[in-house]
Amino acid sequence: MNILEKIKTNYSASMNEMTVAAYLEECRKDPKMYAKPAERILDAIGEPEMLDTRQDPKLSRIFSNKKIKIYPAFRDFYGMESTIEQIVSYFRHSAQGLEEKKQILYLMGPVGGGKSSLAEKLKHLMQQNPIYVLKAGEQISPVFESPLGLFADYVEELEEEYGIPTRYIPGCMSPWASKRLREFDGDINRFKVVRLFPSIQEQIAISKTEPGDENNQDISTLVGKVDIRKLAEYQQSDPDAYSYTGGLCLANQGLLEFVEMFKAPIKVLNPLLTATQEKNYKGTEPIGAIPFDGIILAHSNESEWAKFLNDKKNEAFLDRIYKVQVPYCLRVSEEIKIYEKLIRESSLKDSPCAPKTIELLAEFSVMSRLKEPENSSIYSKMRVYNGETLRETDPNAKSIQEYRDDAGINEGMQGISTRFAFKILSKVFNFDSEEIAANPVHLLYVLEQEVIKMMLPPETETKYLHLIKSVLASKYAEFISDEIQKAYIESYSSYGQNIFEKYVVYADHWMQNNDYRDPDSGEIFDRSILNDELEKIEKPAGIANPKDFRSEVTNFFLRHKANHGGKSPRWDSYEKIKNVIEKKIFTNTEDLLPVVSFNVKTNEEDEKKHRDFTRRMRDRGYTDKQIRILVDWFMRVRKTMA
């Protein structure tokens, strides 16, 4: 079936019609026929996948060895596990008939944090399961009411005869249905039931409301108003003279999204109180109560919430809100996935992006959102939040729980937004007029310029510029130094393996307090000499706890040999010792400068080495233009790294 046939088939299948009696018989067999909106959206979300974080060292540190739920429907919402679990809990409790069914789901968070994306996702999920709507003649109920509303005065009989629990039966029928029932002389069989799928486009059981001008916005935004064109035919109090175009009218049996809810005047919000608590609301005309059995989803930023919260007149409203905080992502690895997703969905997906570019931007974004820790660096805190262990490299680093306790519950509610970060990426990719590509040098420059343009408070601007110039630039200088040196030395792997195996032998004898006899020279190394030799390897990497580090590396080496038939592990198979050995190999950069620079070479040998160097850099993911830019930058900053 091609796409054109599929659309036609789906459209024709969406409006099945049946009698009220047939509908009730189906209700007896299938509870989904009268399912509440929370139940339908839970069904659309689906069952979660249980992830045991104990199986992953990184995740075990982040989530304290807990089992967490991963919902496939929200798989693209990175770093939002807690927020999504709270949202799902709201629907779960509402579906169980608990207090949440009477509350507004309110997402509160900073700009560009994902509130609108979550709202859009929930609206799309609401479209997946059908609703059953009352129909009279050729007219479908203008408020998409459930057929069970016809039995509002016969709840016990309905439960006894068809097994439909009382809580599923609306408290009243609409004025439209009440008028039709009078016209039918009470003959319910003259009504029909239509199966519809909620639709964002058609505003069937899904609607969106935004705050308007305080001077002219009124409750008709939510409850509808009289249609003056029909007053020539009907009285003003006639249900057929009413225009059921308010957000609550259109969102019955579905979902109403209220954007920036607290920017609306309080008089506009009042109908939400009765709609949530009593499941009905009054129109602007004396036409009787209109039923509402849907989900109200609101969102706004923290400042609007704080303003509303501090007004004592709003206490009744506040008690009817289920608040979910939607902070910025605080894990670099997840922030990187957000940027990669945004790039995949744009025309930049095929453009070259040099290694470390996106990671540096993610690190800047996350650090801007973190509360500055005491007696520890913000860079270390960022890495700990990302699930890394810094026991060997930063003795001042705290545990993730200590950082969280110190930061409080509002961490992540301020800082650089994802939206701002992607605008930075766009400018970086288009910075060079000759090629659409991104590299960290251009990123650091664009970031600095954009931070200055933002005209932030002096304290915030100083913090951000410090992160760019001192933290990120120095870390990238170390990274590109390693990249250049690795591309320069073609056969450094065998050299690294020799250092690794020698280190393990020395460390093992040092821990056993035994002398070591060099099999080649016959020289005897006592414990003091062994310690000196080990420190020559450790000091360039700044190992803080040599004793623990030596024990850990030796145990890793011996366990690997025992489990792999006596075969030694590769020197780069264990990240900790790999970093240490690389620092040892690349302590001296002077020899490589004539080769990696783009100056005219004095001999053919250097020219060949330079060609080999650029080829290996291309293999590592750099374009020719990026290699030149990054090498020139490295040559400028290398003196500051000494």
> Residues 42-51: what's their mean pLDDT?
94
Is residue 352's pLDDT more than 70?
yes
List the beta strands (DSSP E) in 109-215: 131-136, 139-140, 191-196, 206-209
Query: Structure tokens of 384?
Result: 């700990």
pLDDT at 334: 95
34-129+197-325 placed in CATH 3.40.50.300: yes
CA-wise closest residue to 242 among 281, 194, 215: 281
pLDDT at 7: 64
* 206: β partners: 255
Domain boundaries defined on the chain: 34-129+197-325, 332-478, 489-641
Main-chain phi, psi angles of 529, to 5 degrees:
-70, -40
* 68: β partners: 51
**Lowest-confidence pick of 142-146, 177-181, 229-233:** 229-233
Nearest-angstrom CA–CA distance, 117 and 123: 10
Nearest-angstrom CA–CA distance, 369 and 326: 13
Residue 281 · residue 292 · CB < 8 Å: yes
CA-wise closest residue to 448 among 414, 472, 481, 432: 472
- pLDDT band at 210; cut points 50, 70, 90: confident
This prediction's pTM:
0.82
Nearest-angstrom CA–CA distance, 113 and 418: 7
The packing angle between helices 527-538 and 575-585, to 10°, is 90
- pLDDT band at 136; cut points 50, 70, 90: very high
> Residues 508-536: what's their mean pLDDT?
85
- pLDDT band at 492; cut points 50, 70, 90: low
* 421: β partners: none
- pLDDT band at 78; cut points 50, 70, 90: very high
Is residue 490's pLDDT more than 90?
no
Q: What is the DSSP letter of 395?
A: T
pLDDT at 71: 94
Nearest-angstrom CA–CA distance, 93 and 278: 18
Nearest-angstrom CA–CA distance, 198 and 204: 5
Distances from the Cα of 339 to the Cαs of 132, 359, 363, in angstroms? 41, 9, 12
> Residues 465-482: what's their mean pLDDT?
91
pLDDT at 24: 94
Nearest-angstrom CA–CA distance, 120 and 196: 20
Task: Estimate to the nearest angstrom the gap between the alpha carbon of 436 and the chain centroid.
Answer: 27
> Residues 264-270: what's their mean pLDDT?
82
- pLDDT band at 14; cut points 50, 70, 90: low
- pLDDT band at 393; cut points 50, 70, 90: confident
Burial 119-151 (b: 16+ CB within 10 A, else e): bebbbebbbebbbbbbbbeeebbbbbbbbbbbb
pLDDT at 578: 81
CA-wise closest residue to 95 among 130, 23, 44, 48: 44
Percent of the chain whose pLDDT exceeds 70 = 93
- In terms of C-beta density within 10 A (0-12 exposed, 13-18 middle, 19 or more buried), how is residue 45 classed? buried
Arithmetic mean of pLDDT over the chain: 88
CA-wise closest residue to 613 among 488, 428, 458, 476: 488
Is residue 196's pLDDT more than 70?
yes
pLDDT at 126: 95
Nearest-angstrom CA–CA distance, 343 and 337: 10
> Residues 142-160: what's their mean pLDDT?
92
Quick one: CA torsion of 570, 573, 575, 579, rounded to 10 degrees? 30
The HSE-up count of residue 2 (CA atoms within 13 Å, CB side) is 1
pLDDT at 589: 53
> Residues 575-593: what's their mean pLDDT?
70
How much of the chain is helix, strand and coil, in % rounded to 5?
55, 10, 35
Is residue 436's pLDDT more than 70?
yes
The β-bridge relationship of strands 67-70 and 516-517 is unpaired
- pLDDT band at 341; cut points 50, 70, 90: very high
